Structure 1
Amino acid sequence: MPRRSWVLWAAATLTAAAPALYFWAVSILTGDDGSRSYWSMSSGSCLGWDIYDQVSPWASPIKAFPLFSYDGAPLIVLGFAGWCLSLRSGRAGPGRVVGRCVAVVLLVLNLPDFLLPALDAALGPACTQIWGPPELLSWQIGRGLYDCLPPVLVLFAVRAPRRAFVRRGAVVRTTAAVLAVTAVVLLPAASAPPGKVSAQWELGCPGFGDGTVKGSSATEQRFLCVVRSHDHRYGSGLERWDEVSDQAVLDQGRYLCALATRHGGDVGARAVDEAPQASLAIALPSLCPAVARAQQAEEDRRQAESDAYVAREERACAAHPRHRPKIRPVRQRRATFWTEFWTIEGWEDGYEGNPPDLLKDLVGSGRGALAIWAADEAGSACVTVESYTRRPPLETRGWDEVVEVGYESPSGSLQLGGGEGPTLKGLTTRGPGSYRVRVHLRGRELVYQVPYPPPGAVELLVMVFPGTAKKPVVYK
């Protein structure tokens, strides 16, 4: 068996297995297995990426086969065994065929990982962005090139000698061995994804201390916290960006910031939305002043619209004539109530959060709980609440619906509120005990007829007075 071929077979096997062995050793020594996750979004069309997108679905299952684990080291060992058997039988030809088949299979599987990103890199920046951060592209090209080294060594191992072997001196052999070992050790290390991924406590994310990261500003650290899901205000982070190195995330964020700045800070602009880094847009206000200003301006505009809407509704309610009760109430109060879930709620301490069912879709009561219809899902109502010490006269004229129900007050502290509006307290006049609640309504039909009813369309008159009757009564 030629020594040269044996050395090349061994070098091919060791070179193929070296990355896995390297990361295994690192994981034992540092606890970091070296794995990193990257996520890229493609827009447009580039030749290398398009081919890779077609090739990878069938190549990935093949690479997952045990024979191709450790970058094909088991396949190389199997090919070496076939080559040895061929030599021992005195027929070198079949052994060369086996070795070349092993090399061709590995080259077919590994060359796309090197050639296709290199092709897009040659086509220009627009195509390199499809492959993700620049360091990821460099890593993929370097790793793809490295993965092609074992099959090349196999080809050299099975190549028929062209001339007589000349034994080299000890110095030459030692130098060659050192260079080979250096390449085997350093190339896997160089192929590892570079860059530091800072932990929560290092970045000073909310709830994790003051941070120890040097060389990055507070805005950059806040941006990284949001991206990596460490900022609790956003609930969850951006999928697959949390393990990309700090520098790569910042580079991609700055690129997206520059793109958004050219569009007035609008992250919804088409160019920004279609950028490969578009998923970083949610975190961009932490890093990009133009985006922060644009979003603040939009928030101010929406707040101004909301304030104007509230003011219109309150003016409309104030313009309604005040109710003139037939007997003097203990208290009479008016307010504009808001709801996003059809009703306004009445409750007493310890009885919150359990609204009763409505009678005639208007009012419902339970022990310590009250619910009154006020809007078609979301909207406002002009509410007048009157508290009495005795039963007031019935009023149905001018009202579309009038319903009265019994109410049991466990503490005598009934209060009425809804949404962002006020809370009216002290609706009961005689402390704990039995009461009646009579609700008058007008404007429901108008609300149902038009999608945007006029301000102050819904009016409610709520009368609360002592009473022991339990049976509900529908007056109108």
Structure 2
Amino acid sequence: MVLGVAGDQEPPRVVMESPDDCRNVQPALSQNSRTLVPAMERLSEQERRLAYLCSVRGYPEKELFRRYPAPKDPLSDAVLLDQGRRACRGEKPPSPIELGRRGVHWPSLEEMAYLCPRTAARWLGEQERERAARRAEYEREQARARAYCERTVSPGSEPVKEGTELASGGESGSYLVGDVGGAAPTDGLVEAAGGSATVSTGTQGDFCLTVRAYRKRPPLALKGWDRVVEVGIESPDGRLRVGSDTGPMALPAVTVSGPGSYRLRVYVRGRDEPETISPELPAERHLLVVFPGRSKERKVFKDEER
């Protein structure tokens, strides 16, 4: 397959004489479907052609135009412009082998915007609507999972503060209580040092997390949990919070007796269940119970994980 036929192209004409011509081109990447056409129509045809050629050739040396390397032996302006017009007409691109042989790439939607802004805006609008629909579906699934977490909280004695959140294990497969930068758990569940503790999850995806803060030690309840471990943690400012690598979670502070020493009791179940993927409901649940206590001793009350 060839990229262009002589009869389809305009007479050879130099639009871009050197990479220096590209230093002040108008970017199309920051536009949306509503602003793209007005932004492009403010440019002359010569300016839009130049911007297109600069982009497909990888000039100038700015992040905006560095997605593709400039070919060592670039094709003529006429051939590249013809290729852009073919893309605007919705023609299928040549094979990757053919494109590679010619040292070019098929124009992106952003690059097409310089040559056919109205067509590009229509396609961009379709992409925006698809993204909005996916986002709305994701938010519905998250709301459903969050409601499930709140609806299935395990009963317990009345705390001073309580909160439940749909949390995520993230890339680290863990979350934090207190200061950022806690030590990695040596027992596979929780490790505390000074004013921070790291709790490991069995998933990098979603799980249900409930926190309860007390002024005195609550009763120990082991039924229904796979593992229960308690450690000591410090709170110099009395505002110990739960968070992830990306920042605090939407949960209340877990220290209700001001600055001092506390005990952190971690209940977990479902950590060894298969990874769940939305729209499946979370299989893993964590409960953090925090109350004043001076002991730094680690206590393992239950360990029945597989």
* TM-score normalised by length of structure 2: 0.70
Task: Provide the C-alpha distance between the structure 1 equivalents of 2:186 and 2:65, rounded to a whole number of angstroms.
Answer: 39
Residue in 1 that maps onto 2:289: 463
Letter in 2 for 1:237: R
Residue in 2 that maps onto 1:390: 216
Give unpaired runs (5+ residues) of structure 1: 1-43, 45-125, 140-192, 207-212, 263-268
Task: Provide the C-alpha distance between the structure 2 equivalents of 1:224 and 1:368, rounded to a whole number of angstroms.
Answer: 57
Residue in 1 that maps onto 2:131: 299
Q: Is the 8 A contact 1:387 1:465 kept in 2?
A: yes
Provide the alpha-carbon RMSD of the alignment: 4.2
Task: Provide the C-alpha distance between the structure 2 equivalents of 1:369 and 1:383, rounded to a whole number of angstroms.
Answer: 18
Moved more, 401-410 or 213-222: 213-222
Shift of 1:240: 0.5
Q: Is the 8 A contact 1:338 1:421 kept in 2?
A: no
From 236, 243, 260, the equivalent of 1:433 is: 260
Structure 2 residue 44 is the aligned partner of structure 1 residue 215:
yes
From 329, 332, 339, the equivalent of 2:169 is: 339
> Whose helix fraction is larger, Structure 1's or Structure 2's?
1
Q: Specify whether residues 416 and 127 from structure 1 end up closer, same or farther in structure 2 by C-alpha distance, changes over 3 A only.
A: closer
SS of equivalent residue, structure 2 residue 107: helix
Q: Specify whether residues 225 and 311 from structure 1 end up closer, same or farther in structure 2 by C-alpha distance, changes over 3 A only.
A: farther
After superposition, residues 273-292 of structure 1 pair within 5 angstroms as 276=99, 277-281=104-108, 283-284=110-111, 286-287=113-114, 288-292=120-124
From 48, 51, 69, the equivalent of 1:239 is: 69
Residue in 2 that maps onto 1:367: 194
Task: Provide the C-alpha distance between the structure 2 equivalents of 1:414 and 1:361, rounded to a whole number of angstroms.
Answer: 22
After superposition, residues 86-105 of structure 1 pair within 5 angstroms as none
Structure 2 residue 223 is the aligned partner of structure 1 residue 415:
no
Letter in 2 for 1:304: A
Q: Is the 8 A contact 2:227 2:267 kept in 1?
A: yes
Q: Is the 8 A contact 1:226 1:283 kept in 2?
A: no
After superposition, residues 65-464 of structure 1 pair within 5 angstroms as 126=2, 195-196=16-17, 197=19, 199=21, 201-205=23-27, 215-216=44-45, 227=56, 228=58, 236-240=66-70, 250-259=81-90, 262=91, 276=99, 277-281=104-108, 283-284=110-111, 286-287=113-114, 288-320=120-152, 322-326=153-157, 328-341=158-171, 342-348=173-179, 352=180, 354-377=181-204, 379-418=205-244, 422-447=249-274, 454-464=280-290
Shift of 1:422: 4.1
Task: Provide the C-alpha distance between the structure 1 equivalents of 2:300 and 2:271, rounded to a whole number of angstroms.
Answer: 16
> Whose strand fraction is larger, Structure 1's or Structure 2's?
2
Shift of 1:290: 4.5
Q: Deviations over 1:159-178 (max 9, x none)?
A: xxxxxxxxxxxxxxxxxxxx
Give unpaired runs (5+ residues) of structure 2: 29-41, 115-119
Q: Specify whether residues 201 and 232 from structure 1 end up closer, same or farther in structure 2 by C-alpha distance, changes over 3 A only.
A: closer
Instruction: Report which of the two structures shows the higher radius of gyration computed on alpha carbons.
Output: 1
Q: Is the 8 A contact 2:229 2:301 kept in 1?
A: yes
Q: Specify whether residues 195 and 271 from structure 1 end up closer, same or farther in structure 2 by C-alpha distance, changes over 3 A only.
A: closer
Q: Specify whether residues 254 and 128 from structure 1 end up closer, same or farther in structure 2 by C-alpha distance, changes over 3 A only.
A: closer
Q: Specify whether residues 236 and 127 from structure 1 end up closer, same or farther in structure 2 by C-alpha distance, changes over 3 A only.
A: closer
Task: Provide the C-alpha distance between the structure 2 equivalents of 1:440 and 1:195, rounded to a whole number of angstroms.
Answer: 66
Task: Provide the C-alpha distance between the structure 2 equivalents of 1:384 and 1:465, rounded to a whole number of angstroms.
Answer: 15
Q: Is the 8 A contact 1:220 1:286 kept in 2?
A: no
Letter in 2 for 1:402: V
Task: Provide the C-alpha distance between the structure 2 equivalents of 1:204 and 1:317, rounded to a whole number of angstroms.
Answer: 49
